Every structure is written in structure tokens, then in C-alpha cells.
Amino acid sequence: MVNVKKLLVLSMIVFWLFCIAGCESKETDSRGELGETDPLTELKESSSRDQKRESMESYSRGELKEAYSGEEQANYRRLADLADLKERLDRQPPPGPFRPIIDQTADGIRPVSGECGTTVTLRGEGFGEKYAPGHSVRLKKKGGVGTDMPIRSWADTLIEFDIPCETLQPGNYRVRVVTPGGESNIRVFSLITEKTGG
């Protein structure tokens, strides 16, 4: 009889333990439904965040993972190609100034001859918008030293300069326009006589 009573008491204790454990399990489930942290959900979200971060880092390194879908790989590849194109364009030097050209027509240089003190007009393109350091009109005899001319006006397609009386001797001179883009083609100006003061 005593053993039966002990068995009943033990059974009651085990029953209450199971009840308590079941209630705590329900409370845990209800807390999960109310938005409290669920370890499994948190692990999944963390894994998703890590995958996204790894995807962006892979894109920045130009790497692709085989685990990604075909569409994801195509998108990352397009982004990587655009980034590579931008990097190559950034490395290219900006287009420099263009080489000046004096027209080969009769209007390219007027007049083609004259005395010192004559104002000469050059027409062409690529001279530069304004007269600045590194820009000049240079006259040079064959085998001689070039001399920069005094400039009256300067525009991208037209230059006016004077033939000085102090530095040039009669003869044929090669005329070039010099800019940071290079030297132009040659036109010829003939200095006919030396002008004397008076």
C-alpha cells in the first residue's frame, strides 16, 4: 500500500514537470510570434546579410561565385565590366591641344611679301582661343634661328602679327604657328627691303 502511494506521488511529480515544460515551450513559441529573437531566424537573416555583403565585395574585386544564379552572375559581370571601363577611361590622358594648321590657300597668309613694319594675317585652325604663353608666330630663314613675331591679335582661326625692322634681314622666311599642340605647317613670307628709320 505504501509503495502504491509512493508511485502515485512520483507519477504526479512527473506529470507536473511535463506540464511545466510544455507551458514554457508554448511561451517561447508565443514570444517568437510576437517578434522576439528566434535563434534560427536570426541565423538565417545573418547568413543572408553576409551573402549580400560578400556579393558586393566580390563585385568590387571582379570575382563571381559559382553558387550564384545565372542572372546574378550576369548582373555582377555587367557591373564589373562597367567598373573596368571606367577605370581604363580614367587612366587615359585627356585629349591635348590639336596641332595648328595654316590654310594652304592664298588666304592662308596675306600678304606674302612686304617691308618690315608690314602687318601679316594668317588664317587657319587650331591656333587657340587667345594669345598665351606657349603660343607664337615664328619666322626662320633656312639654316637660321627662329624669331618670334610681335602679335597684334590672336584667335583660333586668325592671327595678325607685325614684321619687325630691328631683327630681320631681307629674304625668304618660313612662317610657323607654334602652340602647346605643336608646330603648324610652313608658309613663306618674303621680306623685300630693309626699312630704315627716318
The gap from C-alpha 146 to its chain's centroid, in whole angstroms, comes to 39
What CATH number is associated with residue 160? 2.60.40.10
Q: Say whether both 137 and 164 belong to one domain.
A: yes
Q: Say whether both 82 and 115 belong to one domain.
A: no
SS3 annotation, the chain:
CHHHHHHHHHHHHHHHHHHHHHHHHHHHHHHHHCCCCCHHHHHHHHHHHHHHHHHHHHHHHCCCCCCCCHHHHHHHHHHHHHHHHHHHHHHCCCCCCCCCEECCCHHHEECCEECCCCEEEEEEECCCCCCCCCCEEEEECCCCCCEECCEEEECCCEEEEECCCCCCCCEEEEEEEEECCEECCCEEEEECCCCCCC
> What mean pLDDT value characterizes the chain?
77
The gap from C-alpha 51 to its chain's centroid, in whole angstroms, comes to 31
- Residue 79, pLDDT score: 79
Examine residue 197 and state whether it is found in any structural domain, yes or no: no
Mean pLDDT for 53-64 is 54
- Residue 40, pLDDT score: 54
pLDDT tens column, 142-189: 888 899 999 999 999 999 999 998 889 999 999 999 999 899 999 999
Q: Say whether both 175 and 123 belong to one domain.
A: yes
- Residue 96, pLDDT score: 59
Name the pairing type of β-strands 171-179 and 136-140: antiparallel
pLDDT over 60 (residue 25):
no
Tracing cell 587612366 back to the chain, one arrives at: 91
Q: Say whether both 166 and 185 belong to one domain.
A: yes
Name the pairing type of β-strands 119-125 and 147-148: unpaired
pLDDT over 60 (residue 134):
yes
pLDDT tens column, 74-122: 777 787 788 877 777 777 666 556 889 999 999 999 999 999 999 999 9
Q: Say whether both 31 and 43 belong to one domain.
A: no
Examine residue 10 and state whether it is found in any structural domain, yes or no: yes
Q: Say whether both 139 and 126 belong to one domain.
A: yes
CA distance 50 to 69: 17
CA angle 142, 143, 144 (to 5 degrees): 90
Percent of the chain with pLDDT over 70: 59
Examine residue 27 and state whether it is found in any structural domain, yes or no: yes
CA angle 166, 170, 173 (to 5 degrees): 95
Q: Say whether both 25 and 73 belong to one domain.
A: no
pTM of the model: 0.51
At residue 38 the predicted structure's pLDDT band, cuts being 50, 70 and 90, is: low
Domain that includes residue 6, residue range: 1-36
Examine residue 107 and state whether it is found in any structural domain, yes or no: yes
Examine residue 198 and state whether it is found in any structural domain, yes or no: no
- Residue 198, pLDDT score: 42
| 1 or 140, greater pLDDT | 140
Q: Say whether both 48 and 110 belong to one domain.
A: no
Instruction: Count other C-beta atoms under 10 Å from residue 154's C-beta.
Output: 20
- Residue 33, pLDDT score: 47
**Structural domain count of the chain:** 3
Instruction: Count other C-beta atoms under 10 Å from residue 166's C-beta.
Output: 6
